Structures are given as structure tokens and as C-alpha cells.
């Protein structure tokens, strides 16, 4: 490796001179070159039990792809709010600015939330926790009174959802699948990376699970839906 770099330096020196001395890296035999690379992970190939499992996985991936941008946007808006509030001393001005952000967020999300399915709503609640480090319930308390936050939680529970749900890819299989989908999407450039504010090592989790994709819970869920029909 050292000799190859040495050869490159020699070739550059012979072919053409750089405009700036800093453009060159000169190495002599025996030198050590250290290059700082951005951190990245390479995950093992996914393991499915059947082609039918692949179909369920792709279905879930389409849901995650649809919901993730809204969780990412929510995180950005809340970060803006919190950073701005730190610089506002007046209680009345803090209240006015919080109301402004509240109306802005509601304007951005209300119509989209109405169009989401129950599965997409559940994924969104989990991803909000992933992106902000707080549950959806805790985030709502920032924008609304405790009573209104409770009312929103009750309303969500009416649809079998809880705004207090946490994102735990180390322990909850659905969360593991969501994170697995996100990480591969980040690597392949399908989704724009926004790091989680939670503390977990997904590289360790996925290797412990040996990249096995378990979609059994979705098989059961769809089986129940078919029975109802």
C-alpha cells in the first residue's frame, strides 16, 4: 500500500505541478499514511423464512418510507422550537412563540395524519420517539396543556394506539424491523439520514439476531383482518 501511494506521488510530481503545495501527499518508503474515513456499518444479508415473508417485509418497508419524512420533519420543528425558547426570556413571548410553532406543526401534519392507516400511525408514534428522544405524548405536552395531552392520548387509544409508545429496537420485534429498514435505506440513499436521539447500538442488535427477519406478527394481523371480512 505504501509503495502504491509513493508511486502516485511520484507520478503527480512528474506529470504536472499542483497550484497549491497542500494538494500533494508525499510519501517515502517506510512512511505510514493514515486516512480518516466517515463511520459506516455493513450489515449481513437478510434471512427470510419464505417468499411470503419477503412480501410482508416489503409492505412494511413501504409504510416506513411513507412515515419517516414526517417524523424527521417533526424532530426538526421541535429542535427549532427548543433552541429558540432558550433565547427567549419573556414568559409571554415564549408562550406566543410556542403557539406559533404549534399552529405551524398542526398545519403541516393534520391533513397527512388523517390519511394515515393505523399501522402508519403506530410507526409514526414510534419514529417520533426515535427522532426526538421523547414519546409523542411528551412532545405534545410541550405544545399543549397536560389536560389536552391526556385528551390526545385518549383519542389515540380509541384507535388502539398510544402516544406513550416507545421505540425499542433492541427488545421489540416491530421496532427492530423498522430500524433495519431505515438503516439499509440510509446506506442505499433511499432516505436522508437523521440520527436517532436514543441510545442503542443497532449494529450489535442485528448481528445478535443474525439478520433474521420475523414478520409473523403481520401474518397474524392480516389473518384477523381477513376473518373480519
pLDDT score, position 106: 75
pLDDT top residue among 145 and 40? 145
Give yes or no for residue 181 having a pLDDT over 80. yes
pLDDT top residue among 146 and 57? 57
- Kindly provide the b/e burial profile for residues 28-67, where b requires at least 16 CB atoms within 10 angstroms of the residue's own CB: eeeeeeeeeeeeeeeeeeeebeeeebeebbeebbebbebb
Q: What is the value of pTM for the model shown?
A: 0.76
pLDDT score, position 134: 92
pLDDT top residue among 145 and 104? 104
Q: Identify the band that residue 180 occupies on the pLDDT scale cut at 50, 70 and 90.
A: very high
pLDDT score, position 4: 42
pLDDT tens for 91-131 read: 888 888 888 877 777 777 778 888 888 899 999 999 999 99
**Could you state, in order of their start, the residue ranges of all structural domains in the chain?**
1-36, 51-228
| C-alpha to C-alpha distance for 23 and 56, rounded to whole angstroms | 51
pLDDT top residue among 90 and 143? 90
pLDDT score, position 27: 55
Amino acid at each position: 500500500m505504501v509503495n502504491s501511494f509513493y508511486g502516485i506521488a511520484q507520478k503527480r510530481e512528474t506529470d504536472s505541478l499542483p497550484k497549491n503545495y497542500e494538494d500533494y501527499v508525499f510519501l517515502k518508503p517506510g512512511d505510514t499514511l493514515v486516512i480518516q474515513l466517515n463511520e459506516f456499518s455493513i450489515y449481513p444479508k437478510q434471512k427470510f423464512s419464505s417468499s411470503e415473508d419477503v412480501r410482508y417485509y416489503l409492505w412494511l418497508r413501504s409504510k416506513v418510507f411513507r412515515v419517516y419524512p414526517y417524523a424527521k420533519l417533526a424532530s426538526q420543528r421541535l429542535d427549532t422550537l427548543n433552541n429558540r425558547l432558550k433565547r427567549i426570556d419573556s414568559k409571554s413571548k415564549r408562550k406566543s412563540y410556542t403557539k406559533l410553532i404549534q399552529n405551524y406543526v398542526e398545519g403541516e401534519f393534520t391533513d397527512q395524519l388523517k390519511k394515515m392507516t393505523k399501522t402508519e400511525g403506530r410507526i409514526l408514534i414510534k419514529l417520533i420517539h426515535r427522532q426526538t428522544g421523547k414519546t409523542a405524548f411528551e412532545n405534545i405536552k410541550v405544545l399543549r396543556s397536560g389536560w389536552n395531552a391526556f385528551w390526545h392520548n385518549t383519542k389515540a387509544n380509541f384507535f388502539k394506539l398510544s402516544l406513550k409508545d416507545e421505540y425499542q429496537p433492541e427488545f421489540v420485534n416491530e421496532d427492530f424491523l423498522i430500524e433495519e429498514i431505515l438503516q439499509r435505506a440510509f446506506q442505499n440513499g433511499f432516505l436522508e439520514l437523521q440520527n436517532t436521539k436514543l441510545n442503542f447500538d443497532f449494529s450489535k442488535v442485528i448481528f445478535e439476531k443474525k439478520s433474521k427477519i420475523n414478520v409473523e406478527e403481520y401474518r397474524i394481523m392480516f389473518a384477523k383482518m381477513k376473518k373480519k371480512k
